[in-house]
Each structure stands twice: as C-alpha cells, then as structure tokens.
Amino acid sequence: MPFSNLPLLVYIYQIWEEEGIEAIETWNVGEQQELEGDEESKLSIALDINSTCAKVAFFIISKSMNSPTPQFVPSRLGIYEPIHQIGIWGENFKSNGNPNTSTSVIVEVDNKLENESETTSHEMLTASNNYKQEASKPIDKIQRRLAQNREAARKSRLRKKAYVQQLENSRLKLIQLEQELQRARQQGLYMGGVLEGSHIGFSGTVNSGIAAFEMEYGRWVDVQHRQICELRTALNAHISDIELRILVESGIGHYFELFRMKSTVAKADVFYVISGVWKTSAERFFSWIGGFRPSELLKVLVPQLDPLTEQQILEVCNLKQSCQQAEDALSQGMEKLQETVSSTVAGGPVDEVSYIPQVATAMEKLEALVSFVNQADHLRQETLQQMSRILTTRQAARGLLALGEYFHRLRALSTLWATRPPEPSLP
Amino acid sequence: MDKVTRLASENGLVLFSKSSCCLCYAVKILFQEIGVTPTVYELDQDPEGREMERALMRLGCSAPVPAVFIGGKLVGSTNEVMSLHLSGGLIPLLRPYHSMC
C-alpha cells in the first residue's frame, strides 16, 4: 500500500535507566527535510538521558525508510501493515534511583518497502546511499547501540511483566482476605442472634452501624496522627501557652469524640466494641472493657511529665488511687455480669430442646454490658479531664503527645508483628 | 414524705440497688474499696420497690438504680459517683458520716 507524501521519519524510542545506555535515539528528519551534511551528524545524535521522566512517543515512519536503511532499524521488526500513526503514548515514570523500575518501549516501525518515485524518497534514497558508502565504523557503532537498546528494552519488559504479575497476585490475595473477613464477621453476627428470622434485618442495621463506625474511626486515627505531629512541632517551637492550650483542648476533645462514636456503635453491637476488633492487635492485647485502661494511661503519662510540683504529685497520686479503685469496681462488676449470664444460659434442663427462656433472660442481662462499656469510657474521659486540670498547659501538651505517641507505637508494633517473616518450619 | 426520701435521710451513705444489677454491684465494690459501708436497699426485694423506682426517676435519676445519697442529698448514679471520686470529692463528702480506715 503506497504512502504518499507522508512526512518523513520521526523515529523515537527511549530506553532508560540503569542500562546506562543512550536514552533517546532520535532520527529527526522532519518534513521534507533534505539530508545533507555529515552523515554522522544526521544519525542518532540526540542522546538525551532523561532520568526523571520517560516520554515515549512514536510515530510511524513513512516508506522513506527504504532499502538502504534496514540496517538502522531493529531487526526484530518485520513487515507490518501500514498504519499512519501508532500513536503518541506518553508515560511518566518517576525515577527513584531504583534500577529495577526501568521500562522501555520500542517503536514498532513500519518499514514497508515501497518504491516510489517521489522527490523526497528519492532524496532519502540518495542520502542513504551516500551514507552507505561511508565507512562501516559509524554503522557498527549505531548497530551496537541499537542492539544494546533492544536488549535493555527486552529486559525491561520482562521485569515489568514480573512486577505486574506480582501486583495481580497481591490483589487477588487482598480480595480473598476481604471475603474471609466478611464471612467471619457475618458468622459472628449470626451467633449473636437468637431466633431464626429475627436477626437478618437486625444484622443489616448492625452492619451499617459498624461500617459507619469503622469509616469514622479510620478518619479519627488519621486526625490523631496529625494532632500528635502538631503537638510535637508546637512543643519544640515554644509557642505561647494560649496557642498551646488550643491544641490541648482539641486533643482532649478528640478523645471525647471517640467515646461518643463508641457509645453509638455500642448500642448497635456492644460485642463489637468489647471485642476490640476495630483496633490493631497490640492495642487489643491491652484492651479493658472495649478500650485502654485508665490506670495504664496514667502509667504512660506520668513519667513524661517531670518536673511536677509537690501539689501536683499529691493530686496525681490521689487520681491514680481513685482511678484504680474505680477500675477494680467496674472489673468486678463485669465478672459478676459474666457469672450471671453464664448461670442463666446454663440453667434449666438440658434434656429439653427448648432453650428460649434461658437465652431470652440472658439477653436482658446482656443489656447491662452497654452500661459497662459506657462507664468504662466515662472513666477514661474523667481520667483525661482530671489530668488536664492538674497539669499546666505545657505539661498537658506533653502528656497528650506521650499518650498519642504510645498508641501510635502500639499500632506500628501490630503492623510489624503481622508482617514479620514466617518462622522456618521444622524438618 | 415518700419512702425514698425518708430512707435516704436516715443514714449518711445510702444506696438504692437491685440484687440482679451488676452495675450496682460495681458501686458496692467501689465503696468497699474506699472503706465505707453504705446502707443498701434492694428494690427488687422491697414490696414497694416499683413505687420507689418511680420516686427515684422523679428525683431526676436517669436509671433508678444505682442511686446514691450522701447526707440525705442525691449524689446520682454510677456516672456521678465515679466523676466525684476521680475528682477527689467523694471521700471528703463521706467523711462526716463515716470513719475511714
């Protein structure tokens, strides 16, 4: 199929990165341009190693790349159907110095051989012929370069393929895990139901309450992290007490926000809150009635607050004691609740099929669980409030920073633990 | 004078409770830890229990039990007792009526 009056070849391909080879080999002939002058200067001169972005653009060549020129064209290219333009394909890759992220494209070039008695082609032919007559030295150099480029491109393609494969596998794994999680959750909810038909609608509401909480909690953690960084910066920058107070107030308020969120979702599913499944594994390890222990909070804070005045030391000591007492009281109340529910469920004859009375009574008793979760959160809130009252603004800021950093580290610990290398299996 | 108010003013520390209520149990434990002994009335064991529950609700308690009175005055439920204790106000309030160990 004849070409007619196509602009002459613009043939660009780029290989890049650690092959270290010429990034761009361009033969920039342009439109109706005559090839004149030194052959070497015409050919493959543009060496542009662009390590931060690879724009790949390739156009089709016209039939002008004819018989004399095959040696300049990668030999893997066969004869293709003429397409006027493969297209402009722009990709930006950021180089982060990682030699394994190179990528390459080789233009598929149509080098359909067509003889046409057109001025331009004729000129090209002449020029090419001239070129051919030159010493083979520049041709060798170019050929070598082309071969290197091809090799680099091939390697790059293989690497890219492997990487994509890896991504695909990870994606499948993720989908699998999500499905498992969903199934496990639903099983948990199913167990919580009593009678057959009743829990299907209920669990829909529960699910949406839980889903809403999870989304909000994710945001809460992000804001928490931001606040910690702000506190750290503020403390190092020695800003005024008034400005610091604002940060302290919003920090404390942020915890109160969490308690409000938990109160709402506890009404939907108190077991969800108590299980601590919404927290990371290390945090869960320390969980007490659906959250952190207030006494633990004080243990984390107080060492960070030196120096304290005599009065402060006394007040913190009193707070520690009353906090511990309140905690013990709630703990024992929870134990009592467990005993009560357990004996209710276990009660009654087992050789009868119907367990409805026992389970129904237990349901009533479990209502108390919501109160306990609320009381535990109330205790956490009061502890924070009292500490805020006892401490100076600067101390309170340091305390909030220490507390936030503590939970942040626990979360990091959870991640590290989850991704630790598997233990080698015994032979 | 209704029964609740009468009973509340008879002793320094009065707790209205229900034997099945675990939160009431927690409050009892708290007093135990502090070292005081409240006078406890279990509403589920009192023939006028229902009436007393209603009276407590009228006094402003969100839940009838646990309800704590000190010196005849209503302190509140679990929330209020906990807040008072953490702020250091519970023990001074009890001191006139109880000798602490």
From CA A210, how far away is CA A80, in angstroms rounded? 58
- The reply to whether residue A382 touches residue B86, judged by beta carbons under 8 angstroms, is yes
Q: Compute CA distances A247 → A58, A241, A256, A400, whole Å.
A: 56, 10, 14, 10
- Tokens at A234, concatenated: 């503020």
Give the domain CATH number at B65: 3.40.30.10
Is the pLDDT at A110 greater than 60? The verdict is no
Could you give the number of structural domains in chain B? 1
DSSP label at residue A71? G
What residues in A contact B30, CB-CB < 8 Å? Answer: 325-326, 328-329
Average pLDDT, chain B: 91
In the structure, what pLDDT confidence band is assigned to residue A427 with cuts at 50, 70 and 90? low
* A24-28 and B39-42 strand pairing: unpaired
A140 or A85, which is more confident: A140
Is the pLDDT at A25 greater than 50? The verdict is no
- The reply to whether residue B86 touches residue A365, judged by beta carbons under 8 angstroms, is no
- Kindly tell me the sign of the dihedral angle through the C-alpha atoms of B87, B93, B98, B101: positive
In the structure, what pLDDT confidence band is assigned to residue A131 with cuts at 50, 70 and 90? low
How do residues A315-374 score in pLDDT, each as one tens digit? Answer: 999 999 999 999 999 999 999 999 999 998 888 788 877 777 788 888 888 889 999 999
Instruction: Return the residue in A289, A295, A312, A325 with the most chain B beta carbons within 10 A, the one to mutate for interface testing.
Output: A325
Q: Which of B80, B90, B57, B67 is nearest to B17 (CA)?
A: B67
CB of A326 within 8 Å of a chain B CB? The answer is yes
Lowest mean pLDDT among A87-91, A185-189, A255-259, A402-406: A87-91
- The reply to whether residue A333 touches residue B29, judged by beta carbons under 8 angstroms, is yes
Q: Are B7 and B41 in contact (CB under 8 A)?
A: yes
The shortest CB-CB distance from A323 to any of B25, B86, B90 is to B86
From CA A380, how far away is CA A259, in angstroms rounded? 9
From CA A167, how far away is CA A256, in angstroms rounded? 40
CA nearest to B33 within chain A: A325
CB of A139 within 8 Å of a chain B CB? The answer is no
The shortest CB-CB distance from B29 to any of A329, A337, A371 is to A329
- The reply to whether residue A340 touches residue B87, judged by beta carbons under 8 angstroms, is no
What residues in B contact A333, CB-CB < 8 Å? Answer: 22-23, 25-26, 29
CA nearest to B28 within chain A: A329
The shortest CB-CB distance from B88 to any of A318, A337, A365 is to A318
Is the pLDDT at A414 greater than 90? The verdict is yes
How do residues A48-104 score in pLDDT, each as one tens digit? Answer: 444 433 344 443 333 344 444 444 344 343 333 444 443 333 344 343 444 444 334
- Tokens at A249, concatenated: 């107030």
Q: Are A97 and A146 in contact (CB under 8 A)?
A: no
pLDDT at A129: 52
CB of A370 within 8 Å of a chain B CB? The answer is no
Interface of B with A (CB under 8 A): 20-23, 25-27, 29-30, 33-34, 63, 78-79, 82-83, 85-88, 90
The shortest CB-CB distance from A325 to any of B25, B34, B63 is to B34
- The reply to whether residue A329 touches residue B33, judged by beta carbons under 8 angstroms, is yes
Residue A125, classed as helix, strand or coil, is helix
The shortest CB-CB distance from A336 to any of B25, B63, B79 is to B25
What residues in A contact B27, CB-CB < 8 Å? Answer: 329
Other beta carbons within 10 angstroms of residue A263's beta carbon come to 15
CA nearest to A378 within chain B: B79
pLDDT at A121: 46
**ipTM value for the complex:** 0.94
Average pLDDT over residues A239-261: 94
Residue with tokens 């309450």: A209
pLDDT at A169: 82
- The reply to whether residue A340 touches residue B22, judged by beta carbons under 8 angstroms, is yes
What residues in A contact B100, CB-CB < 8 Å? Answer: none
Instruction: Return the residue in B29, B44, B101 with the most chain A beta carbons within 10 A, the one to mutate for interface testing.
Output: B29
- The reply to whether residue B33 touches residue A325, judged by beta carbons under 8 angstroms, is yes
A12: enclosing H helix or E strand: strand A10-15
Q: Are A106 and A150 in contact (CB under 8 A)?
A: yes
Note the pTM of the prediction, 2 decimals.
0.62
From CA A56, how far away is CA A24, in angstroms rounded? 10
Q: Which of A108, A45, A321, A267 is nearest to B87 (CA)?
A: A321
Identify the domain containing residue B16 by its residue range: 3-97
pLDDT at A132: 53
Q: Are A77 and A111 in contact (CB under 8 A)?
A: yes
pLDDT at A174: 84
- The reply to whether residue A382 touches residue B78, judged by beta carbons under 8 angstroms, is no
Lowest mean pLDDT among A111-115, A170-174, A218-222, B64-68: A111-115
CB of A362 within 8 Å of a chain B CB? The answer is no
A-to-B residue pairs, Cβ atoms closer than 8 angstroms: 70
Domain limits, chain A: 209-419
For chain A, what percent of residues have pLDDT higher than 70? 62
In the structure, what pLDDT confidence band is assigned to residue A189 with cuts at 50, 70 and 90? low
Is the pLDDT at A249 greater than 70? The verdict is yes
Instruction: Return the residue in B61, B86, B100 with the most chain A beta carbons within 10 A, the one to mutate for interface testing.
Output: B86
Is the pLDDT at A43 greater than 60? The verdict is no
Q: Which of B8, B22, B10, B18 is nearest to B76 (CA)?
A: B8
Average pLDDT, chain A: 73
Residue with tokens 């013990």: A328
For chain B, what percent of residues have pLDDT higher than 90? 85
